[in-house]
Amino acid sequence: MKIPFNKPFTIADELANIASAVRQGHIAGDGPYTRRCHEWLERNLSTHKALLTHSCTAALEMSAILCDLSPGDEVILPSFTFVSTANAFVLRGAVPVFVDIRRDTLNLDERLIEAAVTSRTRAIVPVHYAGVACEMDAIMQIAERHGLVVAEDAAQAILAEYKGRKLGAIGHLGCLSFHETKNVISGEGGALLVNDERLVERAEIVREKGTNRSKFFRGEVDKYTWVDIGSSYLPSELIGAFLWAQLEHAAEIIAKRRALCAAYRAGLSGLAASGRLALPQPAPDGVIANGHMFYVLACDLAERTALIEHLKARGIYAVFHYVPLHSSPAGRRFGRAAGELTVTDEVSSRLVRLPLYYELAESDVEQIVDAVKAFFVK
Ligand SMILES: *Cc1c(COP(=O)(O)O)cnc(C)c1O
């Protein structure tokens, strides 16, 4: 018996939708399924404009273009994140400035942001780790004081909330991922949420290779032409068809994942109470997570490595997470750290993510909990 870390799944009509898109003869981007996905995201997340992309990475790259950066401009972001959060901005010549994270949520520490702002700072990119919201009120206030763009990396955060608002829909821009490791999936896939109305027209152009093709299809111009920089950021309609089935069942997927997280927490609470390992902190007031991830913190790197090996020997695949970007070869070359990133360094060496996917059974969680207990209680 093996329990993988992640397992892609279908929940409803994904395959039938793909067949139907093929029969209807529209498999390039922006067909009827893609439009339904756009409307669903706009309605359920409350944003002006949702645009499907081929990945969250693409949505981040579009955000970087929309920030109008010049070489040497600076972007504030955590070091404890996926490479795309930084790389998208480096592609535009910007310098990522890495700020430390909070010990409770592992999110960008909003109390450290203002000290990292310089005359070159143009944007803040908060990452909602594990689908738990950053302190968006404080972040938006800092951005306003300094005239900065806020582009949320909400790759892990679909339908998670901050004070009644959906993550990705609070900053000027928000980026979602539908990669097969996320809650709602389409293999590869993502979306850009354009929350600031002033950026909508340009976002459509950037996504359509720098042309005004979207306006042309709406009959707003009589021919389309090259008007700005851009690339091909839209996914095939086959992706939209798959994703539409998942979006229709998004609430169900998230409810299941939250229940699995609760089962992990209940099962491991004894070990946590005796101080053998640390569990994720309960979400701050007003923050509702989406069951994206369940992690535990071992006491140090050696114990973390031994725990992963112990689980693997029992057919359970648990994994660590980010190598902090400020200590990666490209991070050192292109970016800089704002002060000591103590929490980032410590957490990244202690964190273990336990298996979590839609088809994981509560009995699997029990088996994993027992294996974790067997490691600590010898
Ligand atoms: C998954 C992830 C991404 C990248 O998403 P893709 O859709 O694979 O490009 C970016 N940022 C964070 C925080 C992620 O978890």
CATH code for the domain in which residue 143 is found: 3.40.640.10
Question: In this structure, is residue 8 part of a structural domain?
Answer: no
CA–CA separation, 241 vs 19, rounded Å?
9
Q: Of 223, 248, 273, which one is at a domain's C-terminal end?
A: 248
DSSP string across 35-63: HHHHHHHHHHHT-SEEEEES-HHHHHHHH
Average pLDDT over residues 18-33: 97
Same domain? For 300 and 175 the reply is: no
Average pLDDT over residues 54-79: 98
Same domain? For 306 and 328 the reply is: yes
Same domain? For 232 and 256 the reply is: no
Average pLDDT over residues 253-280: 97
Same domain? For 201 and 268 the reply is: no
Same domain? For 125 and 267 the reply is: no
Which structural domain, as residue segments, surrounds residue 368? Answer: 250-376
Percent of the chain with pLDDT over 70: 100
CA–CA separation, 202 vs 229, rounded Å?
10
Same domain? For 65 and 173 the reply is: yes
Average pLDDT over residues 294-302: 97
Reduce the DSSP state of residue 11 to 3 states and report it. coil
CA of 189, closest atom in ligand 1:
7
The CA 190 to ligand 1 mean position distance, Å, reads: 9
Indicate the top mutation candidate among 6, 51, 53, 56 to test ligand 1's pocket, ranked by most ligand atoms within 8 A of CB.
Answer: 56
**Residue with CA closest to ligand 1 atom 14:** 155
| Residue 97's pLDDT band (cuts 50, 70, 90) | very high
Say yes or no to pLDDT of 270 above 80: yes
Average pLDDT over residues 61-67: 98
Q: Of 248, 266, 297, which one is at a domain's C-terminal end?
A: 248
Same domain? For 27 and 123 the reply is: yes
- pLDDT value, residue 247: 98
Same domain? For 161 and 281 the reply is: no
**Residue with CA closest to ligand 1 atom 2:** 155
Same domain? For 310 and 217 the reply is: no
Question: In this structure, is residue 51 part of a structural domain?
Answer: yes
CA of 129, closest atom in ligand 1:
13
Percent of the chain with pLDDT over 90: 98
pTM exceeds 0.95, yes or no? yes
Question: In this structure, is residue 111 part of a structural domain?
Answer: yes
pLDDT per residue as tens digits for the range 70-89: 999 999 999 999 999 999 99
- pLDDT value, residue 378: 73
- pLDDT value, residue 272: 97
Say yes or no to pLDDT of 11 above 80: yes
| Residue 112's pLDDT band (cuts 50, 70, 90) | very high
Query: What CATH number does the domain containing 302 carry?
Result: 3.90.1150.10
Average pLDDT over residues 99-124: 98
Cβ atoms of 34 and 52 within 8 Å: the answer is yes
The CA 5 to ligand 1 mean position distance, Å, reads: 17
Question: In this structure, is residue 180 part of a structural domain?
Answer: yes
List ligand 1's pocket residues with C-beta within 6 A: 55-57, 81-82, 84-85, 127, 153, 155-156, 177, 179, 190
Same domain? For 210 and 262 the reply is: no
| Residue 1's pLDDT band (cuts 50, 70, 90) | confident
Give me the number of domains the chain comprises.
2
Say yes or no to pLDDT of 377 above 90: no
Same domain? For 237 and 257 the reply is: no
Say yes or no to pLDDT of 194 above 80: yes
Question: In this structure, is residue 263 part of a structural domain?
Answer: yes
Same domain? For 25 and 96 the reply is: yes
Average pLDDT over residues 23-42: 97
Question: In this structure, is residue 166 part of a structural domain?
Answer: yes
Q: Of 214, 233, 248, which one is at a domain's C-terminal end?
A: 248
pLDDT per residue as tens digits for the range 309-344: 999 999 999 999 999 999 999 999 999 999 999 999
Question: In this structure, is residue 184 part of a structural domain?
Answer: yes
Mapping DSSP onto H, E and C, the string for 166-220 reads ECCCCCCEEEEECCCCCCCCCCCCEEEEECCHHHHHHHHHHHECCECHHHHHCCC
